[in-house]
Amino acid sequence: MDSPNRLTTIRAEPFNAEAPLTALEAPITPTSLHFVRGNFAVPEHDGRLTIGGAVANSFTLTLDDLCAMPRKELVVTLECAGNARLGQMPLPVGEPWTGNAISTARWTGALLSEVLERAGPSADGVAVSFEGADHGPYHEQADTHFARSLSLEHALDPTAEILIAYEMNGEPLNADHGAPFRLVVPRWYGVASVKWLARIDVLTAPFEGMFQTVKYVYEWPDRPVEPVTLMRPRAKIIAPAHGVTLRPGSYTVRGKAWSGTGPIANVDVCLTGEGDWRAAELEPPAGPYQWQEWSFVWDLCDPGRHTLRARATDAAGNVQPELPSWNRLGYGNNAVELIFVHVQ
Ligand SMILES: Nc1nc2c(c(=O)[nH]1)N[C@H]1C(S)=C(S)[C@@H](COP(=O)(O)O)O[C@H]1N2
Ligand SMILES: [Mo]
């Protein structure tokens, strides 16, 4: 079992760790217990962010410059695309996340759209790349930076509310989470939210970087390769924890549910292996980009082993599948979760 007061290390160098289950009970995950994902060691950052490429005015910003812009605060749930990779069979390569590479934080920063507007993207721009200061040898390349892209249209859209964030839960960003500033892309798997942001470039052709075209793509057995984008709908069971022993009684099951596509419309639970799904209580979203709370009263009278599954459906009608949709690199596993508890 994980310890409630610290992260569970998945890999020490570079540091990758998932949240303890109990830290996911609160609407906002404490910063020290927010999952951490990095492909390279935490880099030195010179404090400068350069905006360039196909723009009318390229310029450099510092933390003070960003702080002088209008402040925007957003609560955003981030999930690693590799979350629940351990549930895929056969097991894909990659960090062996169970289901806790998921957390929610209050992020403060400047709107990316405002920064980009100041640079004046060229009319033939199609994409924007975001480069982190972190780098290292990777996948047959001697030295490569972590870099990702978004379409220019998405990056410029003020309603997408993409942040260049410099605060997390009211404190300056710490090193693990991308100090001095990072991207936060609501609704998307965490990979889009580039940490230790160093360069933003407007491009006139699609970005072909390693982390865009080779990793963080769904390699389906039977369909063309697709990039990882929006978080898929998912309900997570937080309490009781899988495998615990309980006295006979009535228990409130608590969980979270989220989808990058939009709000969750319903969470259903099933207490047997049959398809007898029944509705859980679902709280309305407290904001557009954060998980929703759900609960269900579970009467556990008879001694023995009892199972519970939970399944989310989002407002667009996307439902969690019963089985993981297997892909070679093990991304986007949003299969229905199962727990069992013992009653004695
Ligand atoms: N520069 C940089 N940014 C990055 C990464 C990285 O390796 N380097 N990893 C990404 C991935 S895969 C995820 S899931 C999120 C995790 O953010 P967190 O560590 O703040 O939870 O950061 C993203 N941003
Ligand atoms: Mo990730």
**Which domains, ranges and CATH numbers included, belong to the chain?**
8-227 (3.90.420.10), 234-343 (2.60.40.650)
Percentage of residues in the chain having pLDDT higher than 90: 96
**Residue whose CA is at the smallest distance from ligand 1 atom 12:** 191
The CA radius of gyration of the chain, in Å to the nearest whole number, is: 21
* Ligand 1 near 196 CB (within 6 A): yes
Residue to mutate, 176, 187, 191, 231, ligand 1, most ligand atoms under 8 Å from C-beta: 191
Q: Give 223 Cα–ligand 1 centroid separation in angstroms.
A: 27
* Ligand 1 near 253 CB (within 6 A): no
User: What DSSP state is assigned to residue 335?
Assistant: P
* Ligand 1 near 190 CB (within 6 A): yes
Q: Give 100 Cα–ligand 2 centroid separation in angstroms.
A: 12
Section 80-84 average pLDDT: 98
**Residue whose CA is at the smallest distance from ligand 1 atom 11:** 191
In this predicted structure, the answer to whether residue 4 has a pLDDT above a threshold of 90 is: no
User: What DSSP state is assigned to residue 93?
Assistant: S
Q: How far apart are CA 239 and CA 305, in angstroms?
A: 16
Q: How far apart are CA 119 and CA 332, in angstroms?
A: 34
Could you tell me the CA-to-CA distances from 233 to 185, 213, 241, 267 in Å, in that order?
17, 24, 21, 10
In this predicted structure, the answer to whether residue 278 has a pLDDT above a threshold of 60 is: yes
The overall average pLDDT reported for the chain is 97
In this predicted structure, the answer to whether residue 239 has a pLDDT above a threshold of 90 is: yes
Q: Give 79 Cα–ligand 2 centroid separation in angstroms.
A: 7
Q: How far apart are CA 24 and CA 235, in angstroms?
A: 12
In this predicted structure, the answer to whether residue 102 has a pLDDT above a threshold of 90 is: yes
* Ligand 1 near 130 CB (within 6 A): no
**Residue whose CA is at the smallest distance from ligand 1 atom 20:** 177
Give the pLDDT of residue 275: 84
Section 190-216 average pLDDT: 97
Q: How far apart are CA 10 and CA 196, in angstroms?
A: 21
Please tell me the number of the ligand nearest to residue 174's CA.
Answer: 1
Helix (H, G, I), strand (E, B) or coil at 277: coil
Report pTM: 0.97
Phi and psi at 56, nearest 5°, equal -70, -45
Give the pLDDT of residue 136: 96
pLDDT-derived band at 1, boundaries 50, 70, 90? low
User: What DSSP state is assigned to residue 24?
Assistant: G
Q: What is the tens place of the pLDDT at every residue in 53-79?
A: 999 999 999 999 999 999 999 999 999
pLDDT-derived band at 2, boundaries 50, 70, 90? confident
**Residue whose CA is at the smallest distance from ligand 1 atom 5:** 38
